[in-house]
Structure 1
Amino acid sequence: MEDISPLAVAIIVCEIGFWVVLAAGLAARYLLRWRRTSVVLLVGTPLLDVALLAFTVVDLRGGGEATLVHGLGAAYLGFSVAFGHSVIRWADQHVAHRFAGGPPPVKPPKRGPEKVRHEWREWGKCLVGAAIACAVMALLSFVVASPEQTEALWGVGGWMMRLGVVTGIWLVAGPLWSVLAAGSGRRQDA
């Protein structure tokens, strides 16, 4: 069995840490009624992203060669920044409803112009996440390490290309599909 990359472990720890800090923040807010503690915990979730970036920099500065895992770390970081606030808001709405008598969580629209706007907004977050990931990979490739050391990030078949494919698929399956569905729905109603 091949050794597990320390960076892969760091990514897993950061993901688990995000959910643990989120749960602790929401428990502090709704079960213990510690509003300030809750805010500190929830605002602290991006520190996990900073820790992951620092760990990646240390790994590459130490002479490590970028692998699939380094690209995954950059992608995780980008999408965590882009979608983190939405995930926290989603969880907050559900916990507030379940444990504090809050209103039912807002559901995404199922059809119509609202659905189209929602899909474009979500795709915009995807684009922001991919852009942040690519910026991190560029930083790693040209500032922290050498391009030769980090070819797995930007070379042919590298992570930047993969993120472009994911963003393109999301564009087609998300906003463009909802635009087509909204257009065909209007024609059927006429």
Structure 2
Amino acid sequence: MLIAIIAACEIGFWVVLGAGLLARYPLRMRRLGGLLLLCVPLIDVVLLVATVLDLRRGAEAGFAHGLSAAYLGYSIAFGHSMVRWADERFAHRFADGPPPRGKPRGGRARTRYEWREFGKAAVATAIACGLLVGMIAMVGDAGRTEALWGWTARLGLVLAIWAIWPVSHTLWPAEPGGQQSDR
């Protein structure tokens, strides 16, 4: 059941984001669009409440609970930049806004970009691990929460792999120049 709620929250994120941008630009209803965009974080609250309720009802913490924490961490850390990414593209397409910014192709700007993205991933991991530890403490039964400890290791591995990009751009920076790539 929790997996379905996670999937619904992911779909809901994009639906609410799309509805907000659609209202804001093609329909020119800026207030409604802004209100819908402000509702995007409420989807995270729905998932958090569903996860806590499931654990409070006595469910054994499993894969879905860990995935929920990971989703929440990454959604909180990357959500704003994802909304900004989509907003830039909608503004360009429907409101004669400037061309969207892409990630730098090389040089120091690309290295800074990669470290900034890694920083967001580190924040996401910290949030997710904090939620996992909070769930473990809330349940208070090591037997029911064993799977959650495994998630902290998974998230640490993801972060370690992610670190390859900024480290490689720091040690072997690409030549600056050229156009920016879209991301």
Q: Same fold (TM over 0.5)?
A: yes
Partner of 1:3: none
Q: Does 1:44 align with 2:39?
A: yes
TM-score where L is the length of structure 2: 0.93
CA deviation map 1:30-71 (0-9, x unaligned): 011111111111111111111101000111111101111111
Counterpart for residue 163 of structure 1? 155
Q: Secondary structure at the match of 2:144?
A: coil
Give the aligned partner of residue 10 of structure 1. 5
Who is 2:117 aligned against? 122
Aligned match of 2:167? 176
SS at match of 1:65: coil
For structure 2, the residue ranges without an aligned partner over 5 or more in a row are: 177-183
Displacement of 1:161: 0.3
Contact 1:108 1:115 in 2 (8 A): yes
**What SS does structure 1 have at the residue aligned with 2:59?**
coil
- In structure 1, which of residues 49, 70, 81 is the aligned counterpart of residue 65 of structure 2? 70
**Structure 1 stretches (4+) deviating beyond 3 angstroms?**
none
In structure 2, which of residues 89, 114, 132 is the aligned counterpart of residue 94 of structure 1? 89
Aligned residues: 176
* 1:145 Cα deviation after fit: 4.7
Determine the C-alpha separation between the residues in 1 that align with 2:158 and 2:127. 14
Cα offsets for 1:107-155 (capped at 9, x unmatched) = 100100000000000000000001000011111110245332111011x
Q: Does 2:21 correspond to 1:26?
A: yes
What per-residue deviation string (whole Å, max 9, x for no partner) do you get for residues 15-44 of structure 1? 000000000000110011111111111111
Structure 1 runs not aligned, ≥5 long: 1-5
Residue in 1 aligned with 2:179? none
Q: Which residue of 2 aligns with 1:57?
A: 52
The answer on whether the counterparts of 1:57 and 1:144 sit within 8 Å (CA) in structure 2 is no
TM-score under structure 1 length normalisation: 0.89
Q: Distance in 1 between matches of 2:74 and 2:16?
A: 18
